[in-house]
Amino acid sequence: MHRLIENGRSHQNQRARQLCLKAFDAALTAIDPYLSVRSFLKVNGGVLTVEGYSVRLSQFKRVFLFAVGKASAAMTQAAVQSLHSWPVSGIAIVPRNQQVPRLGTSVQVFRASHPVPGADGLRAGRNVSAALTKLAKEDLLICMISGGASAMIPSPTADIALKDEQQLTKSLVSSRATIHDINTVRRHISTLKGGRLVQLCQARSILSLIISDVPGNFLPDIASGPTVADPTTFQDAIDAMRQYGVWDRAPRRVKDHLIRGRLGKIPETPKPGNQEFERVHNVVVADNAIACSAAAKALSTNHSRATILTSRAEIEASQMGRFLAAIATDRTRQPFRVGSILIGGETTVLVRGDGVGGRNQETALSAVEDIAGTDGVVVAAIGTDGIDGNSNAAGAIVDGRTSERAKKKGLLVNDYLVRNDSYHFFHALNDNLITGRTGTNVGDVYLTVRIN
């Protein structure tokens, strides 16, 4: 942190950088997955209570836990500890190479790849399906779902191979498709997503604790909605692929499956109003709005009036960067002449080069020239999962002197933007934000700080 502050060079820039880093730290603390589950999931006198949902545990023969996503290990640990006096079993699917706390001997742990689905996730999905089909009406299922789950449990239908889903995922992610359109496709080639998990399981009651990485918390899009009725159709999936130029180069087996579904030869995903979902209670325990609110509180506490514009932004990364720069340098703006502006959400990147980086570093890089020459202005972006694209950074921070420092090192902003090589630009300046994997994900936080 000290290095990132010192890079500001001027007292005003250093102060603005310090405020920014404190805000990001507060945001990450507020969405800690272990604490989020413990704050929602309460067990008192044998009664389990979660935000309007209340059941007496003694009415169930067994309690089964199913967790998948970047936060699955911490969420499972929290659930096991909350239910410490009750026997539980379950399955947790965690990211490959993530350290896993002790979850008890009754919880099986599987590793899975992300962001491209792998054979490990396929094996894990098969084990989950087998376990869920064994649950009976006397059982309680507690699901814990977080960002990354769509890729970590691929579960393609029998007529689609894993390599087909891998190819499709790469094409969709690089096409600038929104998460809604990507997951509309995923729901229609899966045996678990789009509410099909509920159809597979006979448990009398299903409680789903969700950490949202989707702007606006649209439940069918979070992990592709395994416990949520799906309002989209096979035709919607086909339309999304065509819109982003993915249809013509998609695997033949994927296209055949979707066409058969559109023609009614394959059953649709379960739709809103389906009575099976009356036994499901979905609760969002952490999201981008919580992260942004915590960041805003930290800024206000440190004498920088903070305003959250939105926590559900979905625009292109370079546009976000220029927008933040415009806000930061607009001396006529009212009432934000001095203070901080926060935006939450998730941007997309038009991939044109083969560089290293991601949407948050690209956002920051796109703001560099537009704030050049100002003092006391900082623009920064961070991914709450601690990973930005194909780099080991979470994001980056820039100020009015970043352009000058870059030129002295022979770094030209546009060259790095064209190559999508934002990581190496900021690495040369020591301005990458490095948090390590946070074990959760609620999307991104974008921030501009301005002080006199």
**Which CATH number does the domain housing residue 219 bear?**
3.40.50.10180
Residue 163 lies in a domain: no
Q: Is residue 195 part of a domain?
A: yes
- Given this model, what pLDDT does residue 332 score? 65
Are residues 39 and 23 both part of a single domain?
no
CB-based contacts of 123, cutoff 8 Å, min separation 6? 110
15 and 60, same domain (yes or no): no
The separation between CA 266 and the C-alpha centre of its own chain, rounded to angstroms, equals: 30
pTM of the model: 0.91
Domain for residue 171, yes or no? no
**CB of 225 within 8 A of CB of 234?**
no
> Would you call 132 helix, strand, or coil by DSSP?
helix
pLDDT band at 132 (very low <50, low <70, confident <90, very high): very high
Q: For 268-293, what is the mean pLDDT? A: 97
pLDDT at 202: 96
**For range 42-48, the mean pLDDT:** 95
Please say whether the beta carbons of 388 and 360 come within 8 A.
yes
Question: Is residue 45 assigned to a domain?
Answer: yes
Domains: count for the chain: 2
Residue 39 lies in a domain: yes
Residue 167 forms part of a structural domain = no
Domain span holding position 327: 2-30+289-450
Residues 60 and 83: beta-carbon distance below 8 Å: no
Q: In the chain, what's the furthest Cα-to-Cα distance?
A: 70
CA 244 to chain centre: 21
State whether 404 and 321 are in the same domain: yes
Above pLDDT 90, what percent of the chain? 87
CA distances, 124 to each of 71, 93, 117, 241 (Å) = 16, 7, 11, 27
Domain assignment present for residue 243? The answer is: no
Helix (H, G, I), strand (E, B) or coil at 197: helix
**CATH code where residue 418 lies:** 3.40.1480.10
**pLDDT attached to residue 338:** 59
Residues 106, 88: contact at Cβ < 8 Å?
A: yes
pLDDT of residue 63: 97
Residues 25, 70 within the same domain: no
Same-domain pairing of 65 and 103: yes
In this prediction, residues 90-103 reach a mean pLDDT of 90
Query: Average pLDDT, stretch 357-369?
Result: 98
Is 38 in the same domain as 128?
A: yes
Bigger pLDDT: 348 vs 363:
363
Indicate the pLDDT class of residue 1, thresholds 50, 70 and 90.
confident
Residue 434 has pLDDT above 90, yes or no: yes
Same domain (yes/no): 42, 19: no
Closest by CA position to 295, among listed 71, 450, 445: 445
Q: What is the dihedral of CA 417, 422, 428, 429, to 10 degrees?
A: 90
Gyration radius of the chain over CA positions:
23
Closest alpha carbon to 349 in 439, 418, 430? 418
Distance CA(415)–CA(54), nearest Å, equals: 57
Given a cut of 80, is residue 395 above it in pLDDT?
yes
Residues 26 and 38 in one domain: no
Mean pLDDT across 24-30: 97
Contact 64, 131 (CB under 8 A): yes
Residues of the chain with pLDDT > 70, as a percent, come to: 98
Residue whose tokens read 């035709």: 235
Question: Which spans in 118-227 are helix H?
Answer: 119-133, 149-152, 162-173, 179-187, 196-200
Same domain assignment for residues 306 and 371:
yes
Residues of the chain by 3-state class (helix, strand, coil), percent to 5: 40, 20, 35
Nearest to 423 by CA among 398, 391, 394: 391
- Quick one: 354 and 373 in the same domain? yes
CA distances from 10 to 240, 303, 371, 374, 401 (A): 48, 19, 15, 11, 9
Reported residue count of the chain is 452
∠ CA 42-46-52, rounded to 5° = 45
Q: How far apart are CA 217 and CA 235, in angstroms?
A: 23
Q: Describe the strand order of the beta sheet including 42-44 as a list of residue ranges.
A: 42-44, 47-50, 53-56
Do 308 and 273 lie in one domain? The reply is: no
What does the pLDDT average to over 349-377?
A: 95
Please check whether residue 178 lies inside any domain of the structure. no
Structure tokens at 416: 């790095």
Whose structure tokens read 């926060």? Answer: 342
**Does one domain contain both 295 and 387?**
yes
What integer is the mean pLDDT of 26-34?
97
Beta-ladder partners of 49: 42, 54
pLDDT digits (tens, 9 = 90+) for 168-203: 999 998 887 888 999 999 999 999 999 999 999 999
In terms of Cα–Cα distance, which of 326, 334, 338 is closest to 446? 326
- The pLDDT value given to residue 165: 97
**353 and 419 Cβ atoms separated by less than 8 Å:** yes
